[in-house]
Amino acid sequence: MNPTSLWRGVLPAITTPFAADGTVDHAFLATHARTMIDAGCVGMVPLGSLGEAATLGFEEKLAIMRTLVQALGDRAPVIPGIASLSTDEAVRLAREAKTIGCRGLMVLPPYVYSTDWREMGAYASAVIGATDLPCMLYNNPPAYKTDFLPAQIAELAAAHPNLQAVKESSTDVRRITAIRHLLGDRLELLVGMDDAIVEGIAAGATGWIAGLVNAYPKESVKLFELARAGDSKAADKLYQWFLPLLRLDTVPRFVQLIKLVQEQVGLGNERVRAPRLPVEGDERAQALDVIRHAIATRPEL
């Protein structure tokens, strides 16, 4: 496999489905992953923010990796998110991922504790250096309070040849330009905020770690392909339909909202793991208005 092919295309940040008893629904997880690959997605990224990784135990995470590796086989790589409260546990998770058969890693900042570059850089370096698997650094300062600046990313890239990509979720598409200016083609750049995908591709991104793809896989792949091809008129038309949904990925209860969309279109259920609870009241009503309008006006591809 071309090493950069891991990072080029639409890679779902797959949600973690739960059964009525609160356990992970592995049967649906496998089916859902195959559905998205059938639609043209190029890999699977479990155990990220949207995957509710912070509420999953260590063994649950390993079981999810195994299910996806078995479900997808050689069709597409599984690239799990690696995040933990401690460096030691994150390193163990990274090493187990390779043993299970995952073909890459998405390296998140540690949960809860975030300070300065000396400590956050040491954490990222320890996880990336724990394996020879290709790695993608996940920069999401709104969620994790750690902001990997372009110069710091360059430092990690110089130290670790297996750091191949960055998922950029700072909400500032200028970061993609800045990283490319500093590092050229050394790293693949992927958009991590759904409502910045067209702008991110225009700035030079080659991949999309997508959220609403869990409910609209074909539309997500089509939008990505149109934007990459430079078909601005067709991309803009599809983007305008999609944007109200894509903006659900950028609010605090994005997990609940994306799962609600999945349930409404028949690609999952809205069960989440506490402390999250399903949305209700005005927030739910407003979200359902957006979802139902999207369903009623869904374009033909």
| Token couple for 19 | 């059964």
How far apart are alpha carbons 210 and 11 in whole angstroms? 6
What percent of the chain clears pLDDT 90, i.e. is strictly above it?
95
How far apart are alpha carbons 247 and 186 in whole angstroms? 30
For 89, the 3-state DSSP assignment is: helix
Query: How many helices (H) and strands (E) are present in the chain, helices listed first?
Result: 12, 7
State pLDDT tens for residues 85-134: 999 999 999 999 999 999 999 999 998 999 999 999 999 999 999 999 99
Contact between 138 and 167 under an 8 Å Cβ cutoff? The reply is yes
Q: Is pLDDT of 61 > 90?
A: yes
How far apart are alpha carbons 211 and 249 in whole angstroms? 7
Mean pLDDT rounded to a whole number for the chain: 96
- What is the set of active-site residues? 138, 167
Q: Is pLDDT of 198 > 80?
A: yes
User: Could you give the domains of the chain?
Assistant: 3-230 (3.20.20.70)
How far apart are alpha carbons 15 and 62 in whole angstroms? 15
State pLDDT tens for residues 131-152: 999 999 999 998 899 999 999 9
- Residue 153 annotated as binding site: no
For 216, the 3-state DSSP assignment is: coil
β pairing state of 105-107 and 9-12: unpaired
What is the band of 3 on the pLDDT scale with cuts at 50, 70, 90? very low
**Confidence at residue 111, expressed as pLDDT on a 0 to 100 scale:** 87
How far apart are alpha carbons 80 and 276 in whole angstroms? 22
For 81, the 3-state DSSP assignment is: strand
Contact between 263 and 273 under an 8 Å Cβ cutoff? The reply is no
Distances, alpha carbon 16 to alpha carbons 45, 221, 277, in Å: 11, 21, 14
